[in-house]
Amino acid sequence: MYCYLFFIRLNHHASCTSLYKKPFVESFEETPLLVAVLTYIGYGILTIFGYLRDFLRDWKFEKCHLAREREEQKDFVPLYQDFENFYTRNLYMRIRDNWNRPIRSVPGAKMDLVERVTPDYNWTFEHTGKVLKDVINMGSYNYLGFAENTGTCADAASECTVKYGVGVCSSRQETGNLDKHEELEKLVARFLGVESSMVFGMGFATNSMNIPALMGKGCLILSDELNHVSLVLGARLSGATIRVFKHNNMQSLEKLLWDAIVHGQPRTHRPWKKILILVEGIYRYSRNLYLPSSLYILVFSGLSRNLICFVQSICK
């Protein structure tokens, strides 16, 4: 499953009926200054030696195992970006053994890794035949435990597969509307304290196609700076005006929102037809959650009655 996506129309009754009552407080441990400085120094040293090694490769003193542009193709559009290629062969390759690790179990809270060794400084790997047992999984999209092969989620998934089949991940027009779709929508609406909600079972196309259906010329989209590219594409396709606020920063959002309501559209100063706030439920690259309660407080202060919050909850 790629993601669930729903949009809600906020109203003043949500604070009374929502199941989400406890404020969510998120905090991060700051990187110590010494660690940050040493990290940048290490990157600087690797970059210098990378340019030195590229010089030796150009003069055939060292062999490069990575794919590069041929001399006879230099007049064509390049297939590789120069700096990305430089980073891959000189920096990433040095620590490549930390990533792309093959596993031999489900990607649960703990998993089994296939042990491997490299005879040529991470350019190629060989399996030793050994397995590292019960390694803590800190890099999986298994947020809700759906990848487990035992437990509540696995049993529920097996039961639903027998009852409903496995082909319900496309649009309802194609695979039909199920009672579980309506049950989920009612549960989402009750959890958020709104009248109704719409839930979709697909990801990129849902985000990029539904936003243009909601918004158009004369509308304003306020987008979190770390939103997924599918949301960004949908906003651009809509033809609406787009303004970006700082990630999870309610002060930045409030400033843009007040400015939009007070000044209206550029030049004409007419009120915006609709104002859409685009955020994600789970930011998968930064691994942090969106703070919905702060947005509710912002909206309930009476800023605008045509304000819509568009929440993309990713469960990849």
CA distance 201 to 283: 18
Q: Which CATH class, in words, describes the domain spanning 200-312? A: alpha beta
Q: What is the pTM of this model?
A: 0.52
pLDDT (tens digit per residue) in 255-306: 898 898 889 899 898 999 888 888 877 666 555 555 444 444 344 333 444 4
Taking a C-beta distance cutoff of 8 angstroms, is the pair 265, 244 a contact? no
| E strand or H helix at 188 | helix 179-192
- 136, β-bridge pairs: 110
Tell me, what amino acid is at 180?
K
* Strand pairing report for 307-314 and 3-9: antiparallel
CA gap 301, 63 in Å, rounded: 65
- Tens of pLDDT, residues 117-138: 999 888 889 999 999 999 988 8
SS3 state at 307? strand
Q: What are the extents of the domains in the chain?
A: 31-98, 101-149, 152-199, 200-312
H/E segment holding residue 134: strand 126-136
**For residue range 148-180, what is the model confidence (pLDDT) as tens digits?**
888 888 888 888 888 887 766 667 777 778 888
pLDDT band at 49 (very low <50, low <70, confident <90, very high): very high
Question: Residue 127: CB partners within 8 Å, gap ≥ 6?
Answer: 102, 114, 115, 116
Q: pLDDT by residue (tens digit) across 75-118?
A: 776 666 667 788 888 888 888 888 888 999 888 888 899 999 99
